[in-house]
Chain A
Amino acid sequence: MFRRDALDEAQYRMDVRTWLEANLPVALRGRTTRPSPLELMPWYHTLSRKGWIAPHWPRQYGGMGATLNEQIIMAEELARIGAPHLPVQGLNHIGPILMEFGTAAQKAQHLPPIIAGTVIWAQGYSEPGAGSDLASLSTRATLEGDHFVVQGHKIWTTWAHHSDWMFALVRTDPRAQPRQAGISFLLVDLRSPGIRISPIKTIAGDDEFSEVFLDEVIVPAENLVGKLNDGWRIANALLGHERLATSNPQFSLTALERIKTMARASGIIADPAFQDRLAAASINVTALSAMFSHAVELTNHEKSLGPESSVIKIFGSELLQALNDLLIEAAGGHALADRPIATDFGEVDVATPFLQSRRVTIYGGSSEIQRNVLARRVLDLPT
């Protein structure tokens, strides 16, 4: 809305759109929960063969080396056609981390399978006792000669039960002060003996995440990323980019379309009180688009957003929830249906996206934590 494609970008957008229309299986479009790997990974492999699986990776590692604008266009076109969410821990997290901090051997071993989609990664940061206060994590890794012995318990690990490898933060120095200085970054083969993974069902009914129990798991010393006890810095290095990527207004635009369809079908669209809320929500989607293109403009001019990226994470995630509240309202009595609702205007999924939306203010740093960050690091308020 606020970003206009340059001529070559417009051409690129058309190319992407045409190819997606021709190649994305219809059954995978518009899904609100992530399909199983059996259904999903062939699509990953198709994108990979096309060379489009990693727009943001440099060419030397098999990526597209795309500009930020091209990456956004790709994300917008994927959202527009309703492409399913891919497992991104490899592409967005450990891949870029290894490019920056990994050894030559680690890069050679792990990057090509991420591009090919032959290995799925999980992120093992959170623990039962360490959520927002991640630095209090207690999964222990003890160096014994040429390997670590890992003992502990990770939780909320997205897709761990479908994953082959997990990158994890582990405690390597229990006495270090501050606590952040005793944490290391390890790559763990999830097929290792001593690992037990059990899926956890979410309120949306899917098993998006798991618990990972680690009992005397042997991890080769060469699976340490960076230096011993330097894991905290590594894990935090790429946070700003991630927040920007997850705030793409396309998700809100999709939600808005869903509300309008549902409201038309239920007739509530004619109600002035509903219209007022719809107008407010739609105005906020316009504001999010403006914030997003503002942030992209700054990033394009190499001004890092830093802690200010919290603004867009708060605004974008809370708006998505407000939109889903409105969706529930538009559906009225239909809202509880456990499957998409058939209407004269097509099928509308209501309960699932609503329930799914509850997570966006929790993960990636909860809304409360983002507000703490803003207050202290941007607004300079005292502790």
Chain B
Amino acid sequence: MDLYLTSEQALLRDSAAKFIEAAGPKAARGFRAQDPSFSAPRLRHAGELGWLGILVPGAAGGLGLGLTELALVLEQAGRGLVCEPIGLAAISAAALGQGRTPHPVLDRAMTGAALIVPAFQESAHGDDPLAPRTHVAGEDGALRLTGKKMFVCADGADGFLVNARGRDGPALCYVARNAPGCTLSRTQTVEGRKLATLTLTDAPADLIPPHSSSRNAVDALHNLVLLALSSELLGVMEKANEITLDYLRLRKQFGKPIGSFQALQHQAANIYVRIEATRSLVFQIAANNDAFCIDPATAIALKAKASEDAMIVTEACIQLHGAIGFTDEHDIGLYLKRAMLLSALFGNAAAQRRRYIAAADLTA
């Protein structure tokens, strides 16, 4: 289904579509196992376009736009298999710029000169972001972080936004990559990107205050992460589906295009229904929520749905290609791997469903 967009929103989407022309499978392949696994100049280019400050208020030097605009850009990033972590960078900048006095690293985060990413996960299955084991001690101005964060998108990162248990409940903290007591151990993924375990031992940190409209800074950023990853997953599914539909029209067996076989037509229809469901969710949530006060149950529902749909859709796309889809040479596999990465980050579909039960008060 079409989206109903303002002309400014349509323009933004079009400029994002233009940006990704230079990305795509070929570029993504080139970054596999590189260090960092993306182009730093391209990240700065996204900064020049304003996208890294898309949610940051105008007064703090950002574009001051909303979730719909964020989702439109990230949907394109997903379509283009963009390797620059635009989504994580943009929502981290939003968090850095939410207090009355923005954090000093904000300006560089918005230009792309510095890459700041959230580091929340403490287990393989997603956790309650409001109950981390990592803790923060000390007085304001001299805070120290201790704990361990997993699956951090630390490639090329200059700093992290960490959720930690503080004296007055969960707190959001900024810690610099090169801070004393901050070590990274990295693992290569099948997707090409490296994920890292971040170990913090009495690492000096700054407190990031919550936005005036949010319940808590950790909660606000976590919900933004779920929306950002889901928007990208949507784009990944869309493009994988388009590639597959082209193949169904082109590839002939038994003397006709395989897309004329009803079994495959119904598979294609199933894929489409899944994509449309996630699409409606992404954009209805974006249109109806304040950026710093997304309803947690809704954000969790979205990440659950997007993660599940993206896996099912990209798996089906491989099947519809036959053996060629199983080759490293064919692009369709890249979409499956990107779906694997984004689905797993911050908790896969099953992990989200587990959290959803409490968040949506299902058993009460």
Contacts and interface: CB of A to CB of B under 8 A. Distances in A.
Given A279-B353, A290-B281, A301-B4, A376 B265 contact: yes
Interface in A145-197: none
Contact of B356 (A282, A288, A293): A282
A286 B281 contact: yes
A279 B354 contact: yes
A375 B278 CA distance: 19
A318 B125 CA distance: 29
A189 B362 CA distance: 51
A288 B304 CA distance: 14
B259 interface: yes
A282 B354 CA distance: 12
Contact of B288 (A4, A264, A381): A4
Given A4-B288, A381-B259, A287 B266 contact: no
Nearest to A283: B301
A383 B277 contact: no
A374 to B, nearest CB: 4
A294 B301 contact: no
Interface string B237-275: 000000001001100000011011010111011101100
A282 B245 contact: no
B323 interface: no
Given A270-B363, A381-B259, A382-B259, A291 B280 contact: yes
B305 interface: yes
A123 to B, nearest CB: 26
A270 B266 CA distance: 37
A259 to B, nearest CB: 10
A375 B269 contact: yes
A320 to B, nearest CB: 14
A283 B284 contact: no
A358 B354 CA distance: 29
Contacts of B301: 282-283, 286-287
B298 interface: yes
Nearest to A376: B265
Interface in A271-289: 275-276, 278-280, 282-284, 286-289
A2 B268 CA distance: 28
Interface residues of A, number: 46
Given A276-B353, A372-B262, A379 B273 contact: no
Contacts of B362: 260, 275, 278-279, 282
B168 interface: no
A340 to B, nearest CB: 23
B269 A379 contact: yes
Contacts of B11: none
A210 to B, nearest CB: 32
B357 A275 contact: yes
B265 A372 contact: yes
Given A291-B280, A294-B280, A311-B1, A284 B305 contact: yes
B305 A283 contact: yes
B353 A311 contact: no
A381 B304 contact: no
Contact of A381 (B4, B249, B280, B284): B249
A279 B281 contact: no
B202 interface: no
Interface of B: 1-2, 4, 245, 248-249, 256-257, 259-260, 262, 264-266, 268-270, 272-273, 276-281, 283-285, 287-288, 298, 301, 304-305, 350, 353-354, 356-357, 360, 362-363
Given A279-B357, A305-B1, A311-B1, 5 more contacts: A264-B363, A282-B360, A298-B2, A381-B245, A382-B259
9 contacts: A264-B363, A275-B357, A275-B362, A282-B356, A284-B277, A294-B280, A314-B269, A370-B269, A379-B269
